[in-house]
Amino acid sequence: MTKPKVLFLCTGNSARSQIAEAFLRAYAGEHFGAYSAGLEPKGYILPEVLAVMKERGLDMGSQRSKSVKEYLGQMHFAYVITVCGHAEDKCPTVFLNMGQREFWPFDDPAKFTGSDSERLEVVRTIRDQIDQRVRKWLEDQNISPATWLLSQKSS
């Protein structure tokens, strides 16, 4: 049986959707195919995102920023989850008829300016919010997240 596919959609595909994809793959990759894309992809993942995910034991080196156009007409997603207001408002209508749609709004770490340590702290906060939301969603699906990642969570 084919695993249901989940698409996390945002504007730049450089932070929030990438984080959600990584957590879903780590927690329940045996149950779901995890994907992410952006309406206006930046072409890179924010270095702060890579750093704070590595703190949690997740190497995102194989992930890349990509356009939603790569998936339009190519894949059917059981779930399309937008993680920013812009993507929710501009979500391609082709996805409206695909499976279930959800909106999980998170602040955009790419828009935060500050020192290196301040940016890292903001990204950690958003990472932890996304982590909690992905785990809640899995509980709603009656799936227990993989426990190895839970043990990586910092206090």
Of 66, 78, 109, 73, nearest in space to 93 by CA: 73
As a whole number, the mean pLDDT across the chain is 87
pLDDT in tens, 107-150: 999 889 899 999 999 999 999 999 999 999 999 999 988 765 55
DSSP secondary structure letters along 46-101:
-HHHHHHHHHTT---TT----BGGGTTTT---SEEEE-SHHHHHH--GGGGGSSEE
pLDDT at 154: 46
pLDDT at 155: 38
pLDDT at 149: 58
Phi, psi at 67, each rounded to 5° = -90, 145
Pairwise CA distance, residues 68 & 151, whole Å: 33
pLDDT at 146: 76
Exposed e or buried b for every residue in 45-54, given b needs 16+ CB within 10 A?
Answer: bbebbbebbe
Which residues does the annotation mark as catalytic? 10, 84, 91
Amino acid at 6: V
pLDDT at 129: 97
Output Rg (C-alpha) for the chain, integer angstroms.
15
pLDDT at 153: 57
Q: Any idea which fold 5-148 has?
A: Rossmann fold (3.40.50)
From residue 97, alpha-carbon distances to 69, 101, 134, 135 in Å are: 16, 9, 23, 25
Q: Would you list the domain boundaries of the chain?
A: 5-148
Taking the chain (155 residues) in runs of 10, the rounded mean pLDDT of each run is 90 94 95 93 94 95 91 87 72 61 90 92 97 95 75 50
